[in-house]
Structure 1
Amino acid sequence: MNVIASRWICCLLFALAPALATAAQTAPRGPVDARVLAARLYAGAAPPSWLGDGGGRAREAVRLLRDAPAHGLDPARYDAEGLASRLDAGVDVAAALAIERDLSTAMLQYLADLHFGRLASGYRLPSDDAPAFDPVDHLRDALRTGRMPEAVDAASPPIPMVRRVEATLARYRALAAAHPHWPDLPPLPARRIEPGTRYAGMALVRERLRLFGDLDDDVPDGDVYTPALAAAVRRFQARHGLAEDGVLGAGTLAALAVSPARRVTQLELTLERLRWLPRPPQGRVVVVDVPAYRLWAFDGHDPAGQLLEMRVIVGAAARTPTPLFIGQMRYVEFNPYWNVPRSIETAEIIPKLARDPGYLARNDMEALSASGRVLPDAGALAALRAGTARVRQRPGPKNALGAVKFAMPNPMNIYLHSTSAQELFARSRRDLSHGCIRVEHPAALAQFVLADPERWGMEAVAAALRPGRTVTVPLRETVPVVLFYATALTDRDGRALFSEDIYGLDEQLAQALRAD
């Protein structure tokens, strides 16, 4: 490109603002409309130029747009190939305006998608006072400093999980490219295949365990299910939320049947969901991944990062799925009463009480009038049916909340709590609650959120958990609780973790992204 053409391009850039301002009146794409951003980009006195250096910046931008799959995004959304073809065809003065406009719009959309996600987020943190990410300022700085690749990397949210999932995505994308045909596994000859048993699909099982990194290469061939294969299956089961019994059953075979291409989609959906999250707080935070039935506790001030991990029980998929939001844990209640929600009263308690007048007494429950007076059992049923009374369960071994409740006031009355039914944590599928989250290790979680080792050390928490009076302890600082949904994650050791889509939200999100 000659000097005269470059000057013409710089002049033509000033004409972009009114054209883009008109385009901004049309329907937006996703949570951020890049056409609105582009109008701002060119509204200044010195608009940036992609082509003024002979097109080098433009070609670098196209290379970055073509690399969108590394971040779980589709380069076609930004017309990467179309822009590349137009640049390769040569840019004259007449075409410069359109190239500048379209490339700026594509890069602004890309930066916005990387940071915010393609769809609008429902997550908010009241205390989130981080400076807002502005794709326009971000792009201006990148063009001014000539550090466009670094700007693209910095657009992603500062969440370590994003980088880990992107690394896993690269591995599974390579697997999907190398194995586009994913043969079906033969049916099992019996309900369970244990070590020493023969299975016609053992070669495929062995190959897949190797591909996924669960099996060493020195395992001999054959159709016998060996102890070495069983050990590899246990590692595979641990990564897929299955019972770690080393037995080839229907659930394990179904997980082995999922193709790498399908896993790629799951990982891409996780990246979209991670971009919805606000900036991580500097203090303590609790994260629950609902389909993984897992809780993690982090401290932003601690170099070690993750401090706790435990199994949880979440809302039943068919009836009472756990809602997804960010709550603010404000207090811990030892030996709590359980105030039964009205929905449970009408669906469960009233019918049982109608059949069995002694139901409340046997379950340590009592009916309370609107003024808080305990009603005699004889009059409880009529009052409950009329809606003039409510049910609560007294503290004790039968209490549904167990020995402690972690309260985060919200309109849906969702909170974390312990449970007396510890045996349920051994199940691989744990969507069993009415919506609240039951935690496996309540004492450890109490110590974490109370964050006061002198007053609330191990012994003090253990004493508070014993049967006794109800004690409410306000937290010194509120703790955000993120109720998240991801069927694909990566742990700190780089292991890919996959879960069943228990609420069917993956397909809903995939459809929404296709429609965007």
Structure 2
Amino acid sequence: MSFIRPLYVAAALVLIPGLFCADARASIAARLAEDSAVIQVGEHPLESDLIRAFYSERGFKAAWSGEARPRADKLLAQIQAVAAGEGLRPQAYVVPDINNADDRDLLISETLARFARDLSIGRVAPTRQVGGMGAEIRPKLDGTAILRELAAGRELAATLIPVQPAYAGYHRLKVALARYEKLAADGGWSVIPDGPSIKAGMEDARLPLVRKRLIVTGELAASQSQGNTLDAPLIEAVKRFQGRHGIDPDGAIGKQTLTALNISAEERVRQVAANLERWRWMPRRLDSTHIAVNLPAAHFELVREGRIDMAMRVVVGDIQHQTPTMATTMTSVVINPTWTVPPSIATKEILPKLRKDPGYLANNNMRILDAFDGDFEKSQGLGIDWSKYSKFPYRLRQKPGSDNALGQVKFNLDNGDDIYLHDTPKRQYFGRIFRALSHGCVRLERPTDLAKLLLPAQADKLDEWVLDDTTRTVKLDKPLTVYLMYMTAWSDEDGTVHFREDLYGHDSRLKTALKRRQQPPQPQVSQEPVKK
């Protein structure tokens, strides 16, 4: 009866998978029963709530083992390919080849869910220190639902399309990323030595390097590769480069232009990747009517129904008084505002001026509040020995008027930082390329025009109101969303890529944070669960 033995073997082979499944379920259930906010697989922490929810729905059945192993390998290969094009690091989504099938199943689930999260809402928390506007505006992501769909056989692309950023700006920047990655892979460009400024008509031994540099990024035609003179074609190419980088387009090669020319292709790739991360922090869609201010570019846009209705230059906070990033709302417009001077400005700027000129307050329409009510002269700072004060001791307010620090129109924003948009008597600042010159608030180039657009019912009265110096506060019919953003790289519709300096150091901190998040899990010698 030799034929019986093969049947016993066949029967055994049929039964083993069921036993394995039961053992795997028990093993995964026991693994997830650990009372910890984080499940530790070797040195790799897993988000326990998400993983527990996913496997609990499945009755703790493995999702990526046995017959599902080829699909898991395919998905892992796909996310690494997708990651490369999204400014994410493929090596961050490598699952170590470990022997414990249950641990590997958990790691695959965590990697797939983490990739979906990173693509949808970013890897780094969107704090102000890295140019974010706060976690509360980010879209929500159901990681368990993502895993459920992938485990059920849904294609990766179909699963990810609804959760990735849909903004045109994001997708244009992805094209720019691919372009600069190719430039970097092809060797980028040579460093141009430091030296004196080069102006029109001058000869300089460095200009052949400048020509090659501008040919690589498309500002100069390849036919213009020769010559040691800053001639007309090269001047125009330099101006195009300067325009893309927020530099005064004078056609001369000074220190600022040379510094921008020498930033490597690899560094531009990192800059673009950092700004792609900021797009992931944005809400799934912006309000149809909103204001967006890009702080590094010192640029304002009013968008209504997806159309830019107004654009203007702005002045933003200087390095010591940085304008904070935020998503907030505009609630009202103040015509002829008063200005209550912040204590820091009163102490650091006005007090030294009073020591030299006791009439400074009177000459600038300022008066002291809550003191000297019966003494008009002292309320204007006259007759006071300011030399004995190291800190300004009173509250100070400037009256409405054309010389008021807030100008004649102020736009109130709902925030705890005392930040708002406003007019300014210092109109000359808008003619400058570098406009990080304020104490933190955003100064507008065309405040009255903006007020007329936002207050159509009062538009015909605004010019008259501005002239009579009476302070009026007019509420908007509906609060208007305002985004104070930090974007140092973006791409136009025609593919022109723009870069700006990292004004407040947010790029530097973000790139450091992103680098810390790139380490993939490492295989462990022991595959036993780690007890905490």
Residue 280 of structure 1 and its aligned partner are, at CA, apart by 3.5
Give the equivalent residue in structure 1 for 2:293: 288
- Write the distance in 1 (CA, Å) between the matches of 2:26 and 2:39: 24
TM (norm. structure 1) is: 0.85
- Write the distance in 1 (CA, Å) between the matches of 2:462 and 2:21: 68
Give the equivalent residue in structure 1 for 2:360: 359
Q: What are the within-5 Å matches in structure 2 for residues 271-310 of structure 1?
A: 271-299=276-304, 302-304=305-307, 306-310=308-312
Give the equivalent residue in structure 1 for 2:378: 378
Give the equivalent residue in structure 1 for 2:191: 184
Give the equivalent residue in structure 2 for 1:490: 491
Amino acid in structure 2 at the alignment position of 1:506: D
- Write the distance in 1 (CA, Å) between the matches of 2:28 and 2:175: 39
Q: Does the Cα contact within 8 Å between 2:46 and 2:110 map onto a contact in 1?
A: no
Amino acid in structure 2 at the alignment position of 1:185: I
Amino acid in structure 1 at the alignment position of 2:91: A
Matched, 1:42 2:47: no
Q: Secondary structure at the match of 2:396?
A: strand
- Write the distance in 1 (CA, Å) between the matches of 2:331 and 2:101: 57
Residue 424 of structure 1 and its aligned partner are, at CA, apart by 1.0
Q: Does the Cα contact within 8 Å between 2:288 and 2:306 map onto a contact in 1?
A: no
Give the equivalent residue in structure 2 for 1:199: 204
Of structures 1 and 2, the one with the larger relative CO (CA 8 A, separation 6+) is 2
Matched, 1:59 2:73: yes
Q: Does the Cα contact within 8 Å between 2:271 and 2:507 map onto a contact in 1?
A: yes
Q: Secondary structure at the match of 1:438?
A: strand
- Write the distance in 2 (CA, Å) between the matches of 1:293 and 1:171: 26
Residue 377 of structure 1 and its aligned partner are, at CA, apart by 3.4
Q: What are the within-5 Å matches in structure 2 for residues 107-506 of structure 1?
A: 107-122=112-127, 123-124=133-134, 132-144=140-152, 146-179=154-187, 182-188=189-195, 190-194=196-200, 196-219=201-224, 221-299=226-304, 302-304=305-307, 306-317=308-319, 319-369=320-370, 376-381=376-381, 389-448=394-453, 450=454, 452-453=455-456, 455-457=457-459, 460-466=461-467, 468-506=469-507
Residue 106 of structure 1 and its aligned partner are, at CA, apart by 0.4
Residue 380 of structure 1 and its aligned partner are, at CA, apart by 5.0
Tell me the alpha carbon deviations over residues 63-90 of structure 1, each in whole angstroms, 9 at most, x when there is no partner. Answer: 233121322222222225x46xx7xxxx
Q: Secondary structure at the match of 2:270?
A: helix
Q: Does the Cα contact within 8 Å between 1:447 and 1:456 map onto a contact in 2?
A: yes
Q: Does the Cα contact within 8 Å between 1:285 and 1:298 map onto a contact in 2?
A: yes
Q: CA RMSD in A?
A: 3.2
Give the equivalent residue in structure 1 for 2:524: none
- Write the distance in 2 (CA, Å) between the matches of 1:258 and 1:49: 46
Give the equivalent residue in structure 1 for 2:31: 19
Tell me the alpha carbon deviations over residues 322-345 of structure 1, each in whole angstroms, 9 at most, x when there is no partner. Answer: 122222211111221111111111
Deviates more, 1:403-412 or 1:157-166: 157-166
Amino acid in structure 1 at the alignment position of 2:275: T
Unpaired segments ≥5 residues, structure 1: 87-93
Residue 433 of structure 1 and its aligned partner are, at CA, apart by 0.9
- Write the distance in 1 (CA, Å) between the matches of 2:152 and 2:385: 72
- Write the distance in 1 (CA, Å) between the matches of 2:223 and 2:261: 20
Residue 6 of structure 1 and its aligned partner are, at CA, apart by 7.1
CA 73–389 in structure 1, closer or farther in 2 if over 3 Å, else same: same
Q: Secondary structure at the match of 2:78?
A: helix
Residue 515 of structure 1 and its aligned partner are, at CA, apart by 3.4
- Write the distance in 1 (CA, Å) between the matches of 2:468 and 2:180: 50
Q: Secondary structure at the match of 1:503?
A: coil
Equivalenced residues, count: 489
Residue 56 of structure 1 and its aligned partner are, at CA, apart by 4.0
Residue 507 of structure 1 and its aligned partner are, at CA, apart by 1.9
CA 170–351 in structure 1, closer or farther in 2 if over 3 Å, else same: same
Amino acid in structure 2 at the alignment position of 1:378: K
- Write the distance in 1 (CA, Å) between the matches of 2:152 and 2:375: 74
Q: Secondary structure at the match of 1:309?
A: strand
Residue 18 of structure 1 and its aligned partner are, at CA, apart by 3.8
Highest CA radius of gyration, 1 or 2? Answer: 2
Q: Secondary structure at the match of 2:218?
A: coil
Residue 467 of structure 1 and its aligned partner are, at CA, apart by 5.5
Residue 53 of structure 1 and its aligned partner are, at CA, apart by 5.0
Amino acid in structure 2 at the alignment position of 1:36: D
Unpaired segments ≥5 residues, structure 2: 1-12, 128-132, 518-532
Deviates more, 1:284-293 or 1:484-493: 484-493
Q: Does the Cα contact within 8 Å between 2:62 and 2:102 map onto a contact in 1?
A: no
Residue 101 of structure 1 and its aligned partner are, at CA, apart by 1.6
- Write the distance in 1 (CA, Å) between the matches of 2:91 and 2:32: 21
Q: Secondary structure at the match of 1:395?
A: coil
Tell me the alpha carbon deviations over residues 239-277 of structure 1, each in whole angstroms, 9 at most, x when there is no partner. Answer: 111112222221111111111100111111112222233
TM (norm. structure 2) is: 0.82
Q: Does the Cα contact within 8 Å between 1:286 and 1:479 map onto a contact in 2?
A: yes
CA 354–425 in structure 1, closer or farther in 2 if over 3 Å, else same: same
Q: What are the within-5 Å matches in structure 2 for residues 95-114 of structure 1?
A: 95-114=100-119
